Amino acid sequence: MSIAEKNALRLAKMIKEKKLSIREVLDGIFDDIERNKAVLNCYISTDSEGAYREAERLQKLIDKGEDPGALGGIPIAVKDNLCTAGLRTTCGSKMLENFCPPYDAAVVENIKKAGAIISGKTNMDEFAFGSQSDSSYFGAVRNPVDTKRSAGGSSGGSAAAIAAGEAVLALGTDTGGSVRLPASHCGVVGIKPTYGRASRYGLIAYASSFDQAGVIAADVESALMGLKQICSYDRRDATSVLCDDGAFDLDSSADIKGMRIGLCEDILKSCDTEVSATIRAAAAEYEKAGAVVESISLKKREYELPAYYALVCAEASSNLERYDGVKYGYRTSEYKDMEELYVKSRTEAFGPEVKRRIMLGAHVLSAGYYDDIYLRAMKMRRLITKEYDELFEKYDALISAVSPETAPLLKNEKTDPVKECAKDLCTVAANLGGYPAMSIPAGTDSKGLPIGLQIMSGRFEERKMIKAAYAFERLKG
């Protein structure tokens, strides 16, 4: 029996008013997880025992008339690169296949405090490197809309879990689009907040100056409910920002008359025709509703992907140095010295995409190339960000596609990794500059595959982005 209510706010209300017990909600969720497991592969680990135990505790509070918390009894799926105390956290890798963290990530602590119930840990590209959720050691995630296709990545398990009713909220992480892209391919909402709003404590690092946790849900209101909880100041993360501005309180009365929206025309040129037509139709809807839409083209767009990949690989290669077979993670069974321990452990436990990125990153940071590649990419990051900062002086929000195409067929051996990286064209700028960005369903192509609209605002200006998103959701009915 699946749960019918996908809106987190209404579900929380039904639970509090005892129209539904938390146990009933979990029965529905775990039924669906079990039923879809072999096909969709959304979860790497589930925790029904822990979930029912927590359900009992919360139900007792409700029965006594006490408040179970803002997310009281809501099942939430957590991407497997966010540490969960006592619950295996693999990052989709053989390297961490048996890693059981002794502590919770800050965002996990926050949702637990708010009464959410963790259904399990979702499948993802190995170490969050990828856009198709097909590089996991635990097998690819399949898209619930069409199971021959990718769910998008790297938080594919989280997005697919929401689309398939296997959770009501899901946490993902976004380094270059990994919350937005799978949300777009699976037809759900995915929001990445401004860099610094959600603590990175306990988020297994990919590229620390880009990584940010986000929320995936069926609609804007539900996603906000999750964001409100995960975003908080945390002194354990030096980049965490104290910002109690109520950015995630939904202003449902907000109308968008006079809102200034920039339509990224240059992106649309690189998109499939059905995708660009859908985004143009969205722009037309905004205009009809009274927004002022102008076409823009980014002068430095062509540098976004090269700057992004040079920098994230550099950061990834140094972040992944810690997996040496000594402290934690996989250790090879036979070795004659320290050197061989390192080499064999890493060779045996990392997949091909991880190795590729470590090598690229080490190259970028090597003495001979540091100035030529790393430093230039850093300068380019600055210039790209400057251009966006200026645009956000002029526009409340920028809109574009999330991906140049709808969900691709799951790749075979021959797929070119460079081509896969090129698909991140629409999303990486938000992480280069730390801007909030989101994906919201905008329509489908002729095959019935979802197309997401990307909305992006200036740093800490989530209110504008959310206003535009909520209005769009209403306009689409």
Q: Please report, as ranges, the residues that interact with ligand GLN according to CB under 6 A.
A: 128-131, 154, 174-178, 206, 312, 424
Catalytic residue among 6, 79, 94, 467: 79
Least Å from the CB of residue 155 to ligand GLN: 7
Least Å from the CB of residue 161 to ligand GLN: 17
Number of CB atoms found within 10 A of residue 65's CB: 6
| Cα 19 to the center of its chain, rounded Å | 32
Nearer to ligand GLN, 80 or 174 (CB): 174
**Tokens 């907040």 identify what position?**
193
8 A C-beta contact, residue 42 and residue 161: yes
Does the annotation mark 158 as catalytic? no
150 - beta bridge partners?
A: 142
Least Å from the CB of residue 427 to ligand GLN: 7
Least Å from the CB of residue 305 to ligand GLN: 10
Nearer to ligand GLN, 150 or 229 (CB): 150
Catalytic residue among 131, 135, 150, 154: 154
* String of DSSP letters for 195-249: TTSB--TTBPPSSTTT-EEEEEESSHHHHHHHHHHHB---TTSTT-----S-TTS
Measured distance CA(84)–CA(322) in Å, rounded = 19
CB proximity list for 390: less than 8 A, separation 6 or greater: none
Catalytic residue among 93, 158, 178, 240: 178
Nearer to ligand GLN, 305 or 399 (CB): 305
Q: Which residue from 26, 41, 53 is spatially nearest to 167, judged by alpha carbons?
A: 26
Does the annotation mark 45 as catalytic? no
Nearer to ligand GLN, 21 or 318 (CB): 318
Residue 422 burial by Cβ neighbours in a 10 Å radius (0-12, 13-18, 19+): middle
Does the annotation mark 276 as catalytic? no
Measured distance CA(275)–CA(403) in Å, rounded = 8
Nearer to ligand GLN, 74 or 96 (CB): 96
Least Å from the CB of residue 435 to ligand GLN: 14
Q: What are phi and psi of 77, to 5 degrees?
A: -95, 140
* Catalytic annotation, residues: 79, 154, 178
